Amino acid sequence: MPESNSIDTPARGFEEVVTLVIKHRVKSGFEAPYEAWLRNIVSVAGQQEGHLGVDVMRGKNAGLDMYTCVLRFCSTDAMQRWLDSPQRLALVNEATPMLADGDQTEVNPVNEFWFAPQADAATPPPRWKQAVVTLLVILPHTLLVPLIWGPLLQLNAVLSNYVVATFLITLTIVVSVVYLFMPMATRLFAPWLSHSTPSKETR
């Protein structure tokens, strides 16, 4: 499969967190040099404006090591700047001889990737499993966040306003779930969510 760097991206205008999903199947015998290359490109990507973090997962596909890299960006524009950057293009060209299928990329809104197929899995997990994991993440937030905010909201008349208080509590829950706890939960429950070979977090 030839290398592909051009991808369809969501319509621009409304800024949202997006994930760039990159899958590499490494040729036999190139595992060590690929690992060195991967550490380098992860470091370079982390210095890009708008980069929010990266997870690297390992799996197996047709007997070869499969690496699924999930990079999060603050907007589609930030992601596209990384895709088009000379640093990334040069690094991808460097890695091409080590890859069995080239550089495979796709884009997902961050909430969609929570339950997107990982590594060599063919389909997302059943919706009831998605609902269970989502409930396990959301329920503690709805119980604890209002308790944490409560004493602070009572210190000021503006903050104690129903609309303002609800906004602050909801914002705290959304940010915490999107950036921290939902990605952690999907990695933790990955063996249960999917029947494929469990992937292992390396970053």
- 10-residue mean pLDDT profile of the chain (203 residues): values are 37 59 93 94 91 84 87 88 93 95 78 51 67 87 90 86 87 82 79 55 40
- The whole-number pLDDT of residue 95 equals 95
Q: Give pLDDT, residue 108.
A: 66
Helix axis angle, 31-46 to 86-95, nearest 10°: 170
pLDDT (0 to 100) of residue 131: 82
Residue 57 in tokens: 């997962």
User: Where in the chain are all domains bearing CATH 3.30.70.100?
Assistant: 18-113
CATH of domain 18-113: 3.30.70.100
Closest to 25 in 3D by CA, of 72, 53, 58? 58
Can you give the pLDDT at residue 4? Answer: 37
**How does DSSP assign 26-85, residue by residue?**
EPTT-HHHHHHHHHHHHHHHHTSTTEEEEEEEEEEETTEEEEEEEEEESSHHHHHHHHH-
pTM of the model: 0.52
92 burial via Cβ count (<10 Å: 0-12, 13-18, 19+): buried
